[in-house]
Amino acid sequence: MSAGCGEGREIHVQEVALRDGLQSEAGFVATADKIALAERLAASGLRKIEISSFVSARAVPQLADAEAVFQGITRRPGAIYAALVPNVRGMERAIAARADEVNLVMSASESHNRTNLRRSGDASFQAIKEAAALAAAAGMRVAASLSCSFGCPFEGEIPAATILKWCRRLQEEAGIHSISLCDTTGMAYPALVRDLVGLVRQSNPAINLALHFHNTRGLGLANVFAGLEAGVIHFDAALAGIGGCPYAPGATGNICTEDLIHALEISGYRCGIDLDGLIGAAGELEKLLGHPTPGQVMKAGPRLRRYPADKPGPGA
């Protein structure tokens, strides 16, 4: 392999442990601990951190303190503090809490949408449109997530035409240009990632595409590299690889942030992140949760370091 396979390209990672990760934890993490973790993540160089979700506290009690977390953090200049927003009511709360960016969510799978959000895909889309208009009026950044883009536990494969349709409608009708294709239940595989990303980018070159992978079947980082080859530069990941899949109890969670950063930087991509700082934060998080987490790099001991980009590596 040549030393410059990543060609020094800059990659942007959104950290989602505080939202996607904590929502599947059995226990409640104290607000002060969430705030301290968010600040530690920002200090390690992460530029976008999804720190909570404005869902109903009844649906997701682990994130019932979204307002308090937003109020409690000391915002680091240059960092974007994002929140997941499921509906118009959540949007109003996100505006009041001064979230920098909102992530509006619907599923690419009709049956997953009905099970998870308890309404049709069309109804979810209308709610997204309404919420996006509120966000735009408030001057907030808006992104949308399409759950189950790479497969659904009820429907199996989702036709590419369905993904293309929602991407086009989100962009043209809701004015949302940042779209995340989410592998909610970890069904994606590299060839599918390459093909689907290729189709979306070809039909919609103006979309700012992000990928959200879960490592449920061990293909998380392989899928990232397929996405990189297809031209994607935005990825979600969760510290220590926490998270889960409601349809696969006990399965591993999101792809792990520190494992992802290690894989990217050693391959020549630039992430601008203090990996040692991040590994320290992952250890803290594991202690906080009181159970082992899937993160690998933090337990693996000494690691190789990337040759400087201007010098050829061994075998170059």
Whether residue 245 lies in the annotated active site: yes
Sign of torsion, CA 278 282 284 289? Answer: positive
Backbone angles phi, psi at 53, to 5 degrees: -140, 135
Q: How far is the CB of 21 from Zn ion (least distance, A)?
A: 9
Q: How far is the CB of 254 from Zn ion (least distance, A)?
A: 6
Among residues 152, 245, 256, 271, which one is catalytic? 245
Q: Which CB, 121 or 243, lies closer to Zn ion?
A: 243
Single out the residue of 117, 78, 99, 95 nearest to residue 18, CA to CA.
99
* Half-sphere exposure for 221 (CA within 13 Å, toward CB): 14
Backbone angles phi, psi at 113, to 5 degrees: -60, -45
Instruction: Determine the Cα angle at 302 with ends 19 and 79, to 5°.
Output: 30
Q: How far is the CB of 23 from Zn ion (least distance, A)?
A: 9
**Contacting positions for Zn ion (CB under 5 A):** 20
Task: Decide if 90 contacts 101 (C-beta within 8 A).
Answer: no
Q: Which CB, 254 or 267, lies closer to Zn ion?
A: 254
Q: How far is the CB of 274 from Zn ion (least distance, A)?
A: 25
Q: Which CB, 84 or 97, lies closer to Zn ion?
A: 84
Helices of type H across the chain: 31-43, 66-72, 88-96, 110-116, 121-137, 160-172, 190-203, 220-229, 257-266, 275-289
Q: Which CB, 214 or 262, lies closer to Zn ion?
A: 214
Q: Which CB, 14 or 87, lies closer to Zn ion?
A: 14
Q: Residue 272: which residues within 8 A CB-CB, separation 6 or more?
A: 10, 45, 47
Torsion of CA 115, 118, 119, 120, to 10 degrees: -10
Q: How far is the CB of 79 from Zn ion (least distance, A)?
A: 21
Task: Write out the catalytic residue numbers.
Answer: 245
